[in-house]
Structure 1
Amino acid sequence: MIRTDKLSDPTVRAVVDAINSGDRDKYFNLLAPDAVMTDDGSERDLHQWADNEIFISHGHMEVESQSNNGHDLIARYSNDMWGEMRTKWHFEIAGDKVRRIDTGQA
């Protein structure tokens, strides 16, 4: 596993830290106003998805690997709704904000 403080991209590092600490305000402050996301290829409402899949259900990421300058992660993701699964995450970053998140099962 890769410790969160060892993730290459500072914005992605902050997102993972916000997820793992359950810090909803920090997470949403990292998103660009027009940020979008997909989950297993389907577009989702990013705010609703994050509330349900991360914050209400106590989401947690354990990063296995990173690539693409830290913008692509493979992680064990768990929450109270689905249990644990191996997931892939792709982040598009603009400045210090997340513009897009694509996630799904790895």
Structure 2
Amino acid sequence: MTIRSTRLGDPAVRAFVTAVDHHDRDGFPALPASGATMADDGGERDLTEWIDREIFSSHGHPEADDESGGGLLLARHRDDTWGELRTRWSFTVDDDGRISRFETGEA
């Protein structure tokens, strides 16, 4: 069963997924903390470049199926490049409530 982004528990994760769901390219850059990092399938990636390529340019979005404490989502990620993949997303939220790191990859 899909969890709507507006029902995700952590406010920073909820804002991230909601921005992706709504393809809010203008609002998205304000969400990650300054200097935020990310990895995809274990490889470090440039956050800005990856978000543009894997989310906004390819119309990508995750549909959360399960949420665990500590910022972990299991989701079906769909985009125009890869189609649909079962993915895991792990978010680290800093003391200011902003995402300082996230990791994603096939589940």
Q: Distance in 2 between matches of 1:63 and 1:39?
A: 17
Q: Distance in 1 between matches of 2:85 and 2:29?
A: 23
Consecutive unaligned residues in structure 1, runs of 5 or more:
none
Q: Distance in 1 between matches of 2:102 and 2:61?
A: 16
Identity %: 48
TM score, norm. by length of structure 2: 0.94
Consecutive unaligned residues in structure 2, runs of 5 or more:
none
Post-superposition CA distance 1:34-82 (Å, at most 9, x none)? 100000000000000000000000011110000024x000000000011
Q: Distance in 2 between matches of 1:89 and 1:27?
A: 17
For 1:99, the equivalent position in structure 2 comes to 100
TM score, norm. by length of structure 1: 0.95
The structure with the largest helix share of the pair is: 1
- Root-mean-square deviation (CA, aligned residues, Å) is 0.8
Post-superposition CA distance 1:7-26 (Å, at most 9, x none)? 00011001000001000122
Q: Distance in 1 between matches of 2:33 and 2:25?
A: 15
Residue 3 of structure 1: how far off its partner (Å)? 1.2
Give the length in aligned residue pairs: 105
- Structure 2 counterpart SS, 1:24: coil
- Structure 1 stretches of at least 4 aligned residues deviating more than 6 Å after TM superposition: none
**Maintained 8 Å contact 1:2/1:63:** yes
Amino acid at match of 2:67: Q
**Maintained 8 Å contact 1:36/1:99:** yes
Amino acid at match of 2:77: Y
Q: Distance in 2 between matches of 1:97 and 1:19?
A: 15
